[in-house]
């Protein structure tokens, strides 16, 4: 069964990410685990810039509890890439992001996936409602 490859139109915001020499593996392309760092960068950049997340002092922080990625075409340093971001599901204390990696100027995703943040109290580590400023930002990119 052939998998659906997302296009740019499926995502609400984009973040430019610079590939690094160390992202490449022995096979000459970005190693699969590095895509997860791109996903994390895209989501957290949005939370900080649009949601006002203070990663050092915020009483509520997001933990990744689930993630997945499908790979469609190779990316390699020094490719310029963009991470597309959207919210697929928004709960009381959790959010599922849809994220894709696009080579600069290309319409179809080189890789796409998701991850889930559960917001917890920094001290107690117990789930808490998503802070209002972050919820407002997430609602803007909800599909």
Return the CATH number at 72: 3.10.129.10
The mean pLDDT value of the chain amounts to 96
1 belongs to a structural domain: no
| Per-residue pLDDT tens digits for 12-57 | 999 999 999 999 999 999 999 999 999 999 999 999 999 999 999 9
b/e code 18-49 from CB counts within 10 Å (16+ = b): ebeeebbeeeebbeeebbbebbbebbbbbbee
Is the per-residue pLDDT at 1 higher than 80?
Answer: no
Q: Is 38 part of any domain?
A: yes
Domains in the chain: how many in total? 1
Determine how β-strand 80-90 pairs with β-strand 94-103.
antiparallel
In this model, does residue 2 exceed pLDDT 80? no
Q: Would you place residue 3 in the very low, low, confident or very high pLDDT band (cuts 50, 70, 90)?
A: confident
> Half-sphere exposure of 140 toward its Cβ, with a 13 Å CA cutoff?
11
- Domain range for 42 is 8-140
Neighbours of 96 (CB within 10 A): 17
Residue 2 domain-assigned (yes or no) = no
- Tokens 């915001």 belong to 13
């Amino acid at each position: 069964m052939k998998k659906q490859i997302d296009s740019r139109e499926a995502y609400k915001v984009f973040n430019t990410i610079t590939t690094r020499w160390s992202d490449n593996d022995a096979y000459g392309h970005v190693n699969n685990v590095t895509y997860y760092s791109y996903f994390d960068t895209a989501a957290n950049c949005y939370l900080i810039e649009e949601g006002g997340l203070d990663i050092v002092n915020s009483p509520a922080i997001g933990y990744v509890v689930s993630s997945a990625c499908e790979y469609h075409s190779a990316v390699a340093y020094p490719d310029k890439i963009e991470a597309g971001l959207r919210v697929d599901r928004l709960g009381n204390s959790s959010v599922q992001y849809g994220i894709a990696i696009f080579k600069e100027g290309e319409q179809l995703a080189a890789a796409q996936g998701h991850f889930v943040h559960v917001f917890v109290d920094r001290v107690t580590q117990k789930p808490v409602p998503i802070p209002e400023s972050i919820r407002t930002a997430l609602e803007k990119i909800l599909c």
